[in-house]
Structure 1
């Protein structure tokens, strides 16, 4: 990881981590306060299996404010509908990131099979502004985006009874927008991995 950080610093690139997660209508549970003997009950509509998938990028560069870029994908409930991101979705997300960051990108992500799809590899190989590295297998502790999911689940999504998929999406967007404007939270997720944005 130190080598990758030095590579990004030397080339003036943004060090970008990617991960994706799925969120369902059933809210994550968290502890809360209540009067003694009155256990709080949150009623949810358990029939819906609709999910929202989010792909997110945390972006770091010494001397710049850390950034969070994300894209949601809603499961439309059809059996033939794709529930996860395709390689074209990742391509479009990376193009958006490149435009917003305005510089080269060193991307670090996991070994998900769609990340290694032939179409995505061919597209990436033709982009001189993009360098890709893969995390070791089973190493979520090295990816700061995992911290973003934790913040979201423990904060804006915990103990909420979602009425509709739209309600779920609204809460996800609200939480991610708050994190976007709080670069110290994004920096904290990087610090949890043991990495830093300070140049070596």
Structure 2
């Protein structure tokens, strides 16, 4: 699970490695809107955050990938161990790497 400290570390990493003005687009997860994140951003002159509207998977392409994984990789699957789940997910991600994501994901999901 990602926590607020991880978000702060990520933003700090970006500031160290990316020059110029920096705009980061985030979803509305609570960790992205935490007071500590807001305070950190206010203290940075060249960093600003833009939040996606709530419940807008069409603006967040990874949501289509997750929907595909849930439906086609993990659907009707109940892992007995974390190792079994990990193996299934790795195989699924390998499959995703070789499909044409935009066309296949749009067809495979109802999003």
TM interval, short-chain normalised: 0.5 to 0.7
Of 76, 82, 99, which residue of structure 2 is paired with 1:159?
76
The number of aligned residues is 101
The answer to whether residue 58 in structure 2 is matched with residue 149 in structure 1 is no
Task: Report the TM-score when normalising by structure 2.
Answer: 0.60
CA contact (8 A) 2:23 2:50 kept: yes
Greater strand proportion: 1
Report which structure shows greater RCO (CA 8 Å, sep ≥6).
1
Unaligned runs of 5+ in 2: 107-111
Q: Whose helix fraction is larger, Structure 1's or Structure 2's?
A: 2
Q: Which one has a bigger Cα radius of gyration?
A: 1
Please tell me the root mean square deviation across aligned C-alpha atoms, in Å. 3.6
What is the match of residue 107 of structure 1?
24
5+ residue gaps, structure 1: 1-72, 74-84, 193-200
Match of 2:50 among 133, 139, 142: 133
Residue 116 (str. 1) matches residue 52 (str. 2):
no
Regions of 4+ moved over 6 Å = none
